[in-house]
Chain A
Amino acid sequence: MAGTPWDLQLLNLCASLLLLLSFAMLAQRRIVTLVNLLAMQGGLLFVATVLLAWRTGERHLYVSAFLTLALKVVFLPWLLHRLIRRLQVYWDTEPLLNIPGTMLIGLLVVVFAFGLAQPIAALANTATRNAIGIAVAVVLLSFLTMITRRKAMSQVVGFLSMENGLFFGAMSATYGMPMIVEFGVALDVLVAVLVLGIFFFQIREQFDSLDLHHLESLREGGPMSDREH
């Protein structure tokens, strides 16, 4: 990419690494590593946001960059690691689909994502418009991660990674949302993880496991226990 300024090249590098990390998450079964990958994703987002803030001179981007650093690189991974230790869940069971198969679907998802992002990218006038496709791909890949996993913890990592993708999308399409909205979203993510923490202990207390196949009795037409008061 001759003629592209170095900071933009770095930004594009960050975007590609984000996509790579999403694929790594798709293939990873060790939950501790999954959380580390999530933290790395957060780190990349932080670098990308700072670069973009420096490039555009938009001061509110610095604020959201440091919000990302505090929340997504430090606090959430720390909390998740703590939960993993307390709950002793280290490995996810065999995913619903084998890993090569998931990767292949992932490739198709990326093609679809770029197709979806095409009209948006064509209209964007930000320097980072090429990254919009990547952001959509990250969102869809995280979705795929959530679908194919059985452990509650991996699903949550998928959920948070989806939020990262959305954040990156907002950044590359419009240089971030208004400050008040970003604070609100960050607050919601924080509360969501805290609520989930409590929730995990409840599931654990009840089933002695965080495997979601225990949570399948409420299907329509399935056997229903008589719920006595």
Chain B
Amino acid sequence: MKTKEQRLTREQVGGIVKMLGLTTDREFNCSECLQQVSEFAERQLANQPVGEVMAKVEQHLALCPECREEFEALMKILKAGQ
């Protein structure tokens, strides 16, 4: 009998489900995201629409907590410079 503590939490199972919901056949990896994220950040800051490439950045950021953490830090720097 598994104890409740050993079970995955709602957030963890929800995390898997969310990952699957966002999964597509062709995705950016972290290196490809890093190459494009500066343009994405500037577009976000200027409220400009995202094109096909930037949509891939957006999708990767939704899936990858590490790249998202770095993107949020980049936005912090850009906003401080405004």
Q: Do A and B come from one complex?
A: no
Please report A residues at the B interface, Cβ cutoff 8 Å: none
